[in-house]
Amino acid sequence: MSQTPDATPSRTIGRRGLLTGALLGGIGLVSGAGSAQAARLAVPSTLKAHPAMVHTRADLGRVAARIDAGAQPWTDGWARLVSNSHSQSGWRARPQAVAYRGSGTPDNSKILFNDVHAAYQNALRWRIDRSVANGDAARDILNAWSATLTQINGTADRFLLAGIQGYQFANAAELMRGYPGFNLARFQSMMLNVFYPLNDSFMTNHNGAFITNYWANWDLMNTASVLAIGILCDDQAKIDRATTYFLSGPGNGALPNAAPVVYDDGTAQWVEAGRDQGHATLGIGLAGAICEMGWNQGVDLYGALDNRFLRAAEYVAKYNLGQEVPYTPYIWHKGAPGVWSGWETFTAASPASRGTIRPIWASIYNHYARRRNLPCPNIAAMMAVVGTEGGGGNYGPNSGGYDQLGFGTLMSTADTVSR
């Protein structure tokens, strides 16, 4: 176990999560593929049967049975879903030929992310209570976009749109696989030809910037999209690429770089904690989705690096609950080679957006507390603060309210299981 760092000013985390100079003062950091292994789970092959992204057939069956029995908290979670405007069968898609996010050309990304969440929420209602009206609505949204969308464009924010909405759209389609009239092949083609090239470009080139210029959430959302597209398209190479990148990639979103310092209190510093808590919680939510999709593909990303993600989630939850956390100064190298270069040092966890509410904690709690019987008191407390989790449409009209699929109270609450 590493030591809690003292206040020595020269102790900093620099490029790729390494301490400047060396491993100083007993602070333990882990970087590189050799230390970032995840166990292949000894699970039956049926686990990988579709759907197998953030939800499985077993999840959906469990939720339906609990709702039929009138059990809590599933009934409260269900009420949260069916009252959301996006889950109504009367939702009509507004597909665009070009989805654009950023300044310049008028940003129409709001149309896409609203339709993505409508597809997902209607798909959930179909899978849980077999409402044909909701199934038809989800199918029609997915078909409309796959028949129309040819390009994602914009400023650097185009990579945000391709990443977040890429993994979310794929999850909606995964739930509708086999539904009468759903054109899965055309939807897969859209994901492979419109979303994936941007995901691949970002993970490979980081928009031409220094590898550290883009914070962890940029890597994580594109990794999540590659993983989801791989599952949707039965492309094992993409699944392997995404899980390998999460474990040992060069960017800030790889687990050793996203949570590079482990402290004696059992937490691990999250790389965006010094930036602000809105982005810190965003990264935790995205990493949680990656871990869950990996788990349902038989790869234990949750347990990698001695449960490093658990330690990071505990750290972010603890600080957002109003408690203090240790912090090792982080030097951020920003800019692009041959264009411009800058350096910024973060010396403490940032109070900006502290207490951010996101519907991300129930799924993380379910894995560590229920599946693994591991203590996660700060995650549990943060989950209680959030309450019954909603989804897109429940957390404001802007893009941040649609960064996560949500509904973890409904979909993730489970009895202890063993895999």
The more confident residue out of 19 and 314 is 314
Which own/partner pairs from 180-185 qualify as long-range (CB within 8 Å, at least 24 positions apart)?
Answer: 180/139, 181/136, 181/139, 181/143, 182/139, 182/142, 182/143, 183/142, 183/143, 183/146, 183/147
Q: What is the DSSP string of 344-402?
A: EEE-S---TTTT---TTHHHHHIIIIIIS----HHHHHHHHHH-S---TTSS-SSGGGG
Residue 331 CA to residue 334 CA, distance in Å, equals 10
Q: Phi and psi of 127, rounded to 5°?
A: -70, -25
Check the CA dihedral 62-89-118-189 and report its sign: positive
Q: Per residue in 44-72, pLDDT tens?
A: 544 568 999 999 999 999 999 999 999 99
Mean pLDDT of the chain: 91
Q: Is the pLDDT of residue 103 over 90?
A: yes
Question: What would the mean pLDDT of 90-97 be, rounded to a whole number?
Answer: 98
Q: Per residue in 125-159, pLDDT tens?
A: 999 999 999 999 999 999 999 999 999 999 999 99
Question: What would the mean pLDDT of 290-296 be, rounded to a whole number?
Answer: 98
Q: Which two tokens stand for residue 342?
A: 């800058």
Domains of the chain in start order, with CATH, are 15-412 (1.50.10.100)
Residue 2's pLDDT band, with cuts at 50, 70 and 90, is very low
Beta strand pairing status for 330-336 and 340-346? antiparallel
The count of other CB atoms within 10 Å of the CB of residue 236 is 11
Q: Which helix (H) or strand (E) holds 416?
A: none
